[in-house]
Structure 1
Amino acid sequence: MNQNALVEQVDAILPQTQCTQCGYNGCLPYAQAIVTEHAPINRCPPGGDAGIEALSRLLNRAVTTLDTNCGQPEPLQVAQIDEAHCIGCTLCIQACPTDAIVGASKLMHTVLPDSCTGCKLCVAPCPVDCINMVPAEREWTAEDADKARTNTRRREARLKRKHPEDQPLAARTLSNKAALTASANNDAEARKKTIADALARARARRRGETA
């Protein structure tokens, strides 16, 4: 079997949550590292023990316990935006690896729960802390994984066309989750002022609600 075909088989086992807990930029980069760099097969919390065992069988490697430094398996959660406090900064949209958040600049955003993988990458960049993770009303399935893989690859292809010099979005989010992403830094000073102004309005609104 050639290397590319093996990467695709490894990627097919990974859950496609794109959470980056493994330390790589998403499921496909982790699959590539497993095949080409002999990366450990136990770094995927969403895949859990079942994923490790499947990778072990495919690659003829020893079964090992999950590396809990990467995280713990947990039931599927999805992101939920407190729309009353959303300031429309678009940072969560930029952070989402599967295009599960819709909205526009200075307008309210919302999450498409059927497309959300529970990766949590949108939480840290939100400057007003209006994104929470809530229990999903479904379990993660193979169909969900296929959809997430398709959405992720489509998004990365679109970003590559628009910003060929940039790192993948997940890499930018992983390296500095709390900062503006590279694609948000056009006219950075104006953008910072816009967000600062929006933050001030959000804080004033919240003070009024709690008074």
Structure 2
Amino acid sequence: MSSTPAPTLADRIENLLPQTQCTKCGYPACRPYAEAVADGTAGYNQCPPGGAEGVARIAAVLGKPVIPLNPVNGVERPRPLAVIDETLCIGCTLCIQACPVDAIVGAAKQMHTVINDLCTGCDLCVAPCPVDCIAMVDVTPGKTGWDAWSQPQADAARERHQFRVARLRREKEENDARLAAKAAAKLKAVEAESTLSPEEKAAADRKKAIIQAAMERARLKKEQMAAQAAGTTGIDDVSRSVKKQIEEISEKLEQQKDPQ
């Protein structure tokens, strides 16, 4: 029968943090801060969301005296909630990327909104917003630190953060795999082309030239339509220029057909 391993000191300290993932402690998330406190490289009074009670809880686990919250890391305050002014939001997605618990939803160039029950009030979405459409609103007036938070909320926030970290890691691995496959395919195509006979290479070059000529004709048509819509002049000049390019390509094709 396997037994559950006893929680480490870092585990115990992490369980005493409100899991806002706000980075105010100076670490990228609550877990790294807990590990730093456990190994003695960080003070146990650097978590503003936990407030004075949070310091006291960690001090009890460490067997150390209760000390004031370090003002360098911030001040104890009511729990805030991010609110997006949807009339100003431009859909840049920067706030979505910044949210450590996936509490903001929306799509590129579409309005974003905050899922109130998921927001930890970390403030991390405010700075990246280029139009200043995000405000932090206190939702627990008169209650600060752990009085403004609960253990179930902290546990849920930690779970969402862990899920987000795993998702981002998976997406990066999938993207890296796609890039590697694309590079491998390109290398394979280059290797295949290097083994072509002169006749096959000439045929491939002719095919490329034909495609390029077709693309030039399409571009010409698009420019003509745009110019006509705008009521501009000089279409004939553009036409002659592009036609000359097509004629040069056609001439090269004929030379490839008859090298003499």
Q: TM-score, with normalisation over the residues of structure 2? A: 0.60
Query: Which 10-residue stretch deviates more, 129-138 or 93-102?
Result: 129-138
- 41, 45, 49: which one pairs with 1:42? 45
* 1:49-198 equivalences in 2 (<5 Å): 49-136=52-139, 139-163=148-172
CA distance in 2, matches of 1:70, 1:127: 25
Contact 2:82 2:134 in 1 (8 A): yes
CA distance in 2, matches of 1:111, 1:63: 36
Aligned residues: 163
CA distance in 2, matches of 1:134, 1:121: 14
Q: TM-score, with normalisation over the residues of structure 1? A: 0.73
Contact 1:81 1:109 in 2 (8 A): yes
CA distance in 1, matches of 2:90, 2:7: 43
Contact 1:78 1:133 in 2 (8 A): yes
Matched, 1:17 2:20: yes
Contact 1:34 1:41 in 2 (8 A): yes
One-letter amino acid of the counterpart of residue 145, structure 1: A
CA distance in 2, matches of 1:119, 1:127: 18
The answer to which structure, 1 or 2, has the higher relative contact order (CA under 8 A, 6+ apart) is 1
Following TM superposition, by how much is the alpha carbon of 1:57 offset from its aligned partner in structure 2, in angstroms?
1.0
Following TM superposition, by how much is the alpha carbon of 1:82 offset from its aligned partner in structure 2, in angstroms?
0.5
Contact 1:3 1:35 in 2 (8 A): no
Following TM superposition, by how much is the alpha carbon of 1:145 offset from its aligned partner in structure 2, in angstroms?
0.5
CA distance in 2, matches of 1:137, 1:44: 18
Contact 2:46 2:73 in 1 (8 A): yes
Tell me which residue corresponds to 1:194: none
1:76-125 Cα offsets, whole Å, 9 max, x none, are 11000000111111000000000000001111100001100000000000
1:136-186 Cα offsets, whole Å, 9 max, x none, are 26832111111100000100111112226xxxxxxxxxxxxxxxxxxxxxx
1:24-50 Cα offsets, whole Å, 9 max, x none, are 001111001111244110001111111
One-letter amino acid of the counterpart of residue 39, structure 2: T
Contact 2:78 2:140 in 1 (8 A): no
One-letter amino acid of the counterpart of residue 143, structure 1: P
CA distance in 2, matches of 1:81, 1:21: 22
Tell me which residue corresponds to 1:26: 29
Contact 2:52 2:76 in 1 (8 A): no
Tell me which residue corresponds to 1:177: none
CA distance in 1, matches of 2:172, 2:157: 22
One-letter amino acid of the counterpart of residue 156, structure 1: V
Q: SS at the partner of 1:145?
A: helix
Which has more helix, going by share of residues?
Answer: 2
Contact 1:88 1:108 in 2 (8 A): yes
Following TM superposition, by how much is the alpha carbon of 1:62 offset from its aligned partner in structure 2, in angstroms?
2.6
